[in-house]
Structure formats: structure tokens, C-alpha cells
Structure 1
Amino acid sequence: MDPVIIVGAGPVGLTLALALARQEVPSVVLDEGPGKDEQRPARTVVLREDTTALVERLTGFPLSEAGFRWAGWRSMRRKQVMREIAFDTQGSGDAGSSRHTAGTRGAQDSRDIHASRYAEGSADAEEYAAPLHIAQHALTGALRDAIVHERLIKVAVNSRLDSIEQETSGVTAHTRGAKGTWWHGSYLVGCDGPRSTVRKLQDIRFPGRTAVERHAVAALRTELPWPGEALLHRMPPWRTSGPSAGEVTARPLADDAWRLDWLLPPGKDLVTPDLLLARIRETLAGWSGGSTPAYELLDTGVHTVHHRLARRWRVGRVFLAGDAAHLLGALGTQGLDEGLRDADNLAWKLALAWHHGPHETLLDSYQVERRAVVAARLRAADQALPLLRGGGGLRSYVPGSARGHDTLLTDGHLGRGPLGAPGAYADSPLAPPHADSAAPVDTAPGAPVVDVRVTAEDGSFVRLRERLGRGVLLVMLIAPGTGVWERKHWVTAGVMPRLAAAVTALPHPAELLVAESYPGAAAHTVLLVRPDGHLVTAFSGVRPADLYEAAEATLGGPTKAEATASTG
């Protein structure tokens, strides 16, 4: 069978190619460029914990060596900073006044500044692990290095797409250049960015809003007062280099580098080098007590955020993913992170179709699931923007009224809440019908599972996420006490033989795992997990018929051939 054609060699396209290769599906990546990426320190990405794990699983490279997982998050608003300055400048003034200001400052600490630490090993580390901040060229480099060793992936450089033709059994793409080439594939996925040629050739509309936010960006090497913490500073008071534009964000990178973002006022005013340098100096001075610390400027740029959503993500054998399908990024939402989730969702479905023949319900579910999640993220950002950026009104005068809005914004940057938390496929067409044996756990059906420690079939202890992305279903039994005994002592005891037989009989290959515990799950609960790590459902005890029905639904139901055979 022909390979999958992937148009675009950015992080999403390369991730999809690696994810398909892990499931024994060949692909051809059409790279418009020369196969190398320009090093731009100011062009960085933020990855949530599960997408970081996805890339590390595919590349075998620990991304933290090239990026930075910040140890905490500090949110600061104008009111608190002004109180600190007032206290510091009173010095030898009236003692009573100083004591009053100091007391006020202390009282404000819990309301206006919060530093949420997610250090490894803390009680909340697993649930609220800090995001990874990494230069995009470092991420792409790790993906390219992994592809070099993949026999199932071919990268065609200097290959610019100019036409697509679909047939019943496949798709043909033509690239122009010195030697125009025709490429024959089973499916084609457009991962070719905001100006996607694939999207245009398929005549797919891409409605939305332009320039929702603009940011001036600088990458620099310096020392800041809070090493290892990201900072969100709302409405800093020292701005003198132009119109006040609201917040400043600082995120740590590897090698003592930082990325600083200044929210720009609406409009298209030119950000000159002199203006940007003035903002760098005054911001660093404001954070460092009045004097600008030494710094090395590495890179600068202007980042414009657009919000757009493609009307369709699938046309026959052609799919869209990443920036070709959606653009977002305001208020801490991360477009590339969502693009990697697109690749993870699509890979196992294309792999099943490639190996076993097309299944329309399964392939259609990619658009239904992923488009709904991104649309919800865009709606949340659009609803929050007037509250967080508008200012004025009665809300500004109500004490403490901004706290919820600040939390909404910081949660977006941290990968939590409506702006940042991983989406759940609650209304998926792959959801099984409700069964009387269904058991509640803390993870809702369709949501990503918690990364607990499990015992694999060979008796080794691994993390649940290490078993994802191989195209098989995961069946996990919760059995307290199994973690302290060797597998040979319990693998043939209790419910295990019956469950093992039920897993073997499923309509698709599945791996049986055992966990000591899972949040909210009682003993002998059985969880069914998709290849991309989203929970299908959970059962109270071993229910072979219910488990089979849920697994079949996860695959999109029986194929036409299977349905015909069962009725004929």
C-alpha cells in the first residue's frame, strides 16, 4: 500500500511521520525548504506535560536538555508593585506611615502575588507539572534527528506542492521544482502552516479574526530576581517608552536565557529597534530595583496572534492538522501544543485504516474530536479577552474582582482551566453506549488518563504513557497489592485469567496492564484506554461482553464488510 503523504516539515508534520512509523506505516514528508531550520531563539514554544511526553517517546530525546521546565509561576499586578515602591521610597519618613504601608503590603501578598511551584516530587507535581519552554528550532532538530534513523520515513526537500488529485484508492500530489515529481499516497495530511496550500487546493474556508493580539518579543541572556520562575506582570507602572500596553511576560529558557513578551496596543504601529531596546532596559530595571542588569540580546521579533478555524479538517483522503487547520495563541493558549495533539489523534486512526482498510466513522472522528476541542479553546479565549484586556467598568473598583481573571490567565499559561487544560472528547462518535457495569473514576470518559505506574505484560514497572502510541488498546486492571509482589505470583490468580482471556478476544490488539491504584478507581476496576491516551470507559470488575462492545465502538464500530458478514 502507498505511504501517507505529509505536506510540511514543521514540528506537527515530523511528529505525525514518527507517530505513523511507530505503527509501521510509511510516509513521505514534502519539505518546501532545504531540510534545515533557522535558529531563532525568540521563536519558542510551550509544551504541556503530555505533549512533551509524546515527543520524547517518539524521539527518545529528553527535551528538558534543550528546553526549560520552569519551577514556578509568578503573577504580579500594578497595585502590588506600586505599594512596594511606595514603601521603599519612604525610608526615613514617618515611622507610623512606614509600618502601615508594610502591613498593607503583607496583606496584599496573598491577593496580588502568587507563586505556584510545581517542583518535581511535590504533592501536586503529577497533576500540575510545569510546562516545558523550548526554542522551536531545538524541538524540530530533535524530531529531524529521530527521522534520520527511520526506515519508513522519506523526507523530500525543496518540494513545493502545487496540485492534489484524489482517486478511490488513494491520492496523488505533484511538487514543482527543477524536476517536477508526482507522489502517490494512501492519504495526504496538510501540516503546511497558516498559508496552507493543501487547504487552498481543497477549497476549505478558514474564517476567523486577524491580529487578536500583538507582542514584541526579545530573547536575551541575563539574571532575573526569580531564577527558574516564569513571570506574568500585569500593567507595570514604569512604562515610559511609549503607550502603556499592559502585561509583560518572562519565560525562562535553557542556558540562562529568557524570552520576554510585551503586549502591544491595538493597531499596526511599527516596533522599532530603539523602542524595543528601551522596553528591554526599563523592564529589566523595573524588575531589578531601578538599575538595568547586564544582558546579552540574542534575538527579537514581533509575534501576531490570529484566531482562525478551518471549516473542514477532512476531504476524502485529505486531512488538515496544526496551523493549517487552526490558529490560536491569545491569553496563553498554545497553537503548536494543539497541533501535536492533532498528530497524536490522527496517527492511530490513519494507521488502522492503512493496515485494515478505511473505516469512515473512525476517520471522520478526527475532525469531530479535534475541531470541537480547538473551537472550545477559541471560544474561551474570545469570551475572556474583553474581561482581561478591556479594563474600566464597575469591575475595576470592586476589591479582589480581578483575582478570578488573573487566575484564568495564569492557568492558561500553565496548561490548566478552559484556556489551557487538555481537551476531552466528551461527544466523540467513538464513545461506547452506556453500560450498567460502568464505574466512575476521576477521569471523565474522553479525557486524557493520569500517568500512573503500571506493570506491563513482561512484568516490568513502567509509566502508563510509555505504552501509548503503538496503535494498540490498553486495558488496565486496578489491583491493590500487586506492586509489591512479582507478577508470577498474581498473574494466574483472582480475576486475571478471565480478564486476560477477554483482552485476547477483543476485535483489535490490546495490552493488559495492572496498576496498584488510579485516582477515584475502586479495586478491580477495569479501564479501557485509546492508543492516544484518552479514556474510553471504566467497568466495575471483569465484563467481557461490555469490554468487547466498548472496544468495537472505539474503533468506529464494525466495518461494512464485518457488518455484511454478520448479517449474511
Structure 2
Amino acid sequence: MIEKDVVIVGAGAVGLSLAMQLGRLGVSSLAVDRRAATSDHPRARGINTRTAELMRQWGMEGAIRRNALPPEDFCFAYRRDSMRGHEYGRTVTDDGIDVPSAMPRLLVPQDIIEDELRERARESAEIRLRTEVEDFEETETGVLATIRDLRTGEVQQTRSRYLVAADGAMSMVRQRLGIPIEGNPLIGYWLGIYWKSADPRLWATYLEQPSMAYYAIDQDDVVVVSAVDRTNRWLTFRILPAVTTRPAPPSHDEALRLVRKATGLPDLDLDLVNVQVWRVSAQVAKSYRQGRIFLAGDAAHLLPHTGGLGMNTGIQDAHNLAWKLGLVLRGHADPALLDSYEAERRPVAEQNAGWSVGNNDTLKRIIASARAEDGPGVTAAIEAENDHVRQEGAELGFAYRSHAVVGDGTIPPAPSQTVYTPTAVPGCRAPHVWLDRGGERISSIDLLHSRFVVLAGAHGGAWVAAARAIADDTDIPITGHTVGPNAEITDVDGDFLDTYGIYVDGAVLVRPDGHVAWRAQFIDGADTTPLIEALEQVLGRSVRAAEPTSVVVS
């Protein structure tokens, strides 16, 4: 019998993110995956700003920046017949655009991301590849599962407190549980061809006007040529219709002809690596949880890749769930905290699915206008498609509503795909501001992970003292910092108080996932009871033994 706190079905980007975070929280986990290794296809390539912030917190910033394409490549080019043909237009790039974060969005292939995540997850979690879950059963105290080693045939039993399904679009776990998935099951199909070539003519075209994707549009076909890196890795995609039967992948020779036609180089020398056909859907599971079993990533939601939100939404699912499992398993929170996972993440998936469908509809407008040689129509549609590239609202602006958020009477900004308004309204991501800590320039994001954090104004030392007393008396992971002139941490640009919506003696309580749980604009005398009450609401347990005596620090 293998004993773990959590068993994770699936060791892709989502499962590995969860395993790594649980390990760092002192939670034991086993992640299993049928595959022998990381995907042999680059798959998703966009890390959005919020996911990039998380990877910075996880110590992965150097690795993902080294493997990222330059920001001037972050655009789409639309051309006649091939990537070398007449250009109808292109979306804006990320080059020189100021992002309200310490991290930009990055173009990094998913296979690189998974390699990095797996190495970090293995530091504190058990990862078994070529292993599948054959069966599972929930009990009163946990989940029993049967796993099989696909290389040896060996069968073992696992016992865990919880099981998380991160096993993809056709999730065996979701289907066995009978959880329906709602929405549009078939928008179309895409064919993906992964190939390698160092032909200098490719790079001459690419470097003349860089783009993450060249859409080659003719009257009968739409084929996309994308650089995976700036060495020799490429992807070619073909947009296929929504037909009843999944289209068969092309033969080797057919794939070669398609790539050569799309590049405009009939004699291109290339090595074909592999070919995939996948269904494009916009669906969200009706429930993210059944008892002690949770769904995450593609097991919980299927998003069109137009917008690049699929993998990012899944990684952020894992980020939301990990700290809650950690606190419950360590006895710091009531199991009811886990109910907030679905309450918070399902609306985000529904919103992202809608925006991704909108991006897909805009792409159809571009294609139709190009085929009709409608110049103004193409220009207008490409302008609208900038939402696909510039979607800071979708990446940073989502706000949670659940019992793990204590409202203060203020309302988050209206949802927007493109516009992000930095705010510390409870439920929102605690916004980035630049800080100075002992001569080191840091982002506020660097302070906000793995534990609760109180951020207070320069005269809000009583809040920080209360947080540290709770940590000392209960072992709940919480700390605090004062920010401002002559405070523990200096506000570099002087915008901390305005951005967070507090006075010099106010404070916010930020959850371990970086979202604001509670806010007090100022302190009433030296009474820190509101902070304690807010933490009790989030955790579902009392921390009254830690209530400090009145302390005034200025």
C-alpha cells in the first residue's frame, strides 16, 4: 500500500504544478501519468502574465526567460497563400509595452515548461510515468486507487486523503464520476505538425518581420506557420471544419507537402517529428468536486486555444487548490475551505471560455475578409484580434467570490478581457508595486506566496504585530510587513497606498495564492480584531488564543 496525502492523476503542466506546490507545503503526493516522458509536441506556447508571476515565485524565472522568444515576436501576421506572401496586416507586439507586473507574458513551449516543472516537483513529490490509474474508490477517510506500471504490469494500491484529476480533456476520472461537461463540444478541429528545419530562407522571412504565427490564407485553406524557438523547431497548424468524425492525420508525404506549401518553399528540407489532430471545444465541468476528488486543468474545462488561456487557467487551478489542501491537511483550516475551490475557479473558466470563443470568431472574420480581398474589413478585424494578444483583464483582473473572501463593501472592476485596473478589492489579485527591501528592488508579488501576508501602511504596525502573534501561537503560516517611508519596506514609486486603497494605518490580508482576503482602510484605535475575524472566516476555525494585546507601532 502506497500512503500519500494526495494522489494526482496526470503529470502534465497542471499535475506537476500541483505536486510541486504541495511538496513545498509539506504535503506528500504521488503524480502518475501514462506517458513515458514530457510531450513530444510543443503544444501550448504562451505563458500569460499571471502564470509568469507564479513561475517567478517558484524560482523558474531564469529558465522560462532563457527559453522564451523575444517580445517583438508576440504578434500574429496574416498573409496571402503562404508565410512569404503578401501581408494583409498584423496584431500589435509586446515589444516596449509596459505590463503592470514584474513579469511579462512569455512565449515558451509547453514541453520546456513541463521539463522544468517535473524537475522541481521531483524535489518533494513522487512522479511515476508510464503508470495509469485503473480504478479508484472514495472511503470515509480518503481515496483508494489501483495503479498499474505499464512497463512491468505490476499493480499496486494507493491510499490518500484526496485525489486530484489532472488527466486531460478525456479525463477518465471525470467520466467515472459521471460529472457532465457543459458548453459547445465541437467548434472544429486543428491539425498540428511539429517539424525541424534550419533552412536560412525560413529565417530570412522570419527575421525580416518576426511573428509568433503566420496565417497563410487562401480560398480553400488556412495554415499557420509558427516558430517554436529561434534555432530549428517549428509548428504548422491547419484549421479543419467541425465534422462528425475526427479527421484522420495526414500521411508523412501529405504533411511534408502541407508544410512546404505553407512556408512557400516547395523544396524545403525538413525533418517531420510528429503529427496531432485535436478537437476544439468550449466546455466547463458542471462540478469541480465530488467528495474527496477534485478536477483541475483540462479535466475541468476545455478552452479553445485562441487566446492561449487553456494551460494558464489549469496551472492557476492548481495554484488555487494547493494552498487549501495544504492548510486542511496540516490541520490549519476546516475542510469546508475546499468548497471555495469550485466557487472561485469555475467562474474563471467560464469567462475564459467565452473570451476564447470570441477570439475564434474574430479569427473567422479576418479569414473571410482576406478571402474577399476586403482591405478595410481585414484591418478592422485585426484590430479586434488585438484582444487575443493584449488581454490583461483576462490574465490579471479576475476576482474571486466565496466564503474565503471577506468583502469590505467595495465592488471589483467590471470584467474586461483587455483592460486591467490594479485594485486590492477583496477577491482580486493583490496588485504589483515596486518595493525596496534592504536595498533590494523587489515586487510586492515576491512577498505573496506560500503563506498569508499582511501588508500594512507605514503606521499599520499593529496589524503586522497581530499577524506575527498568530503565527507564533498557532503555527498558521502568516507574516506581515509595513510599507512606506521609514517602514520595514520602502514604497519605491510612492503608489502603494493608492493602489491598495488604504490609509497609512490600514492593511490588507493576502491569501497564499496572492488574492486579497480582507482589507481595512484604517485601524480603529489599536483594535486588530477585524483581522483575526477575517482569518477565522477564511480558515473556518478559531485563532482567538492568538489575539494580541493592543500594540501601537508608528
Same fold (TM over 0.5): yes
Q: Work out whether residues 429 and 516 of structure 2, in 8 Å CA contact, stay in contact via their aligned partners in 1.
A: yes
Q: Which residue is 1:166 aligned to?
A: 138
Provide Cα deviations, 1:188-232, integer angstroms capped at 9, x if missing partner. Answer: 111122222222332222344344232333344441535494345
Distance in 2 (alpha carbons) for counterparts of 1:175 and 1:292: 49
Q: Does 1:349 align with 2:324?
A: yes
Equivalent position of 1:277 in the other structure? 256
Instruction: Go from structure 1 to structure 2 and tell me whether the alpha carbon gap of 1:185 and 1:433 turns closer, same or farther (over 3 Å shift).
Output: same
Q: Distance in 1 between matches of 2:439 and 2:479?
A: 13
Partners in 2 of 1:193 and 1:459 — Cα distance?
A: 45
Distance change (3 Å), C-alpha of 1:521 and 1:349? closer
Q: Which residue of 2 aligns with 1:155?
A: 127
Given candidates 464, 473, 481, the residue that maps to 1:500 is: 464
Aligned pair in 2 of structure 1 residues 131, 253: CA closer, same or farther (>3 Å)? Answer: farther
Root-mean-square deviation over aligned CA pairs: 4.0
1:308-387 → structure 2 map (5 Å cutoff): 308-356=283-331, 359-383=334-358, 385-386=360-361
Alignment correspondent of 1:462: 442
Q: CA deviation at 1:459?
A: 7.9
Task: Give 1:137's aligned residue.
Answer: 111
> For the Cα contact (< 8 Å) 1:223–1:256, is it kept in 2?
no
Aligned pairs (5 A) from 1:156-305 = 156-176=128-148, 178-219=153-194, 220-221=196-197, 222-227=202-207, 229-232=210-213, 236=217, 239=218, 244-246=220-222, 248=224, 250-267=226-243, 270=248, 271-285=250-264, 296-304=270-278, 305=280
Q: 1:117 aligns with which of 94, 99, 107?
A: 94
Q: How does 1:479-490 map to 2 (within 5 A)?
A: none
Deviation at 1:275, TM superposition (A): 4.5
What is the CA-CA distance between 1:184 and the residue it aligns to?
A: 1.2
Residue 418 of structure 2 is matched in structure 1 by none
Q: Give the Å deviation of 1:348.
A: 0.4
* Shift in alpha-carbon separation, 1:281–1:321, aligned structure 2, 3 A: same
Structure 2 Cα separation of the partners of residues 421 and 429 of structure 1 = 23
Residue 33 of structure 2 corresponds to residue 4 of structure 1: no
Q: Deviations over 1:501-558 (max 9, x none)?
A: 2323558432223351336346625333221112334432346333333333333x44
TM-score, length-scaled by structure 1 = 0.75
Task: For 2:174 and 2:247, locate their aligned partners in 1 and report how far apart those are by CA, in whole Å.
Answer: 31
Is the contact made by 1:67 and 1:254 (CA closer than 8 Å) also made in structure 2? no
Provide the residue aligned with 1:475 in structure 2.
454
3-state SS of the aligned residue for 1:301? strand
Taking a change above 3 Å as real, the CA distance of residues 201 and 74 of structure 1, as seen in their structure-2 partners, is closer
Paired position in structure 2 for 1:520: 499
Aligned residues: 498
Relative to 1, partners in 2 of residues 1:146 and 1:342: Cα closer, same or farther, differing over 3 Å?
same
Distance 1:32 1:199 in 2: 16
- In the other structure, the counterpart of 1:554 is 538
Question: Which one of the candidate residues 478, 481, 488 is aligned to 1:510?
Answer: 478
- Of 10-19 and 514-523, deviating more is 514-523
Within 2, Cα distance between the matches of 1:405 and 1:536?
Answer: 40
Counterpart residue number, 1:28: 30
Q: What is the letter of the counterpart of residue 55 of structure 2?
A: V
Q: Which amino acid aligns with 1:28?
A: L
CA contact (8 A) 2:10 2:166 kept: yes
Q: Letter of the 2:14 partner, please give it.
A: V
Q: How many Å apart are 1:128 and its aligned residue?
A: 9.9
* Residue 455 of structure 1, CA deviation: 4.9
- On the 8 A contact 1:56/1:63 being kept in 2, the answer is no
Distance 2:429 2:379 in 1: 28
Q: Unpaired segments of 5 or more residues in structure 1? A: 86-104, 286-290, 480-494, 564-568
Q: Indicate the residue corresponding to 2:387 in structure 1.
A: 411
Shift of 1:318: 0.9
- Report the Cα offset of residue 402 of structure 1: 5.8
C-alpha distance in 2 between matches for 1:266 and 1:146: 39
User: How far apart are 1:409 and its partner, in Å?
Assistant: 3.2
SS in 2 for 1:448: coil
Establish whether residue 532 from structure 1 lines up as the match of residue 504 from structure 2: no
Secondary structure at the aligned position of 1:155 is classed as: strand
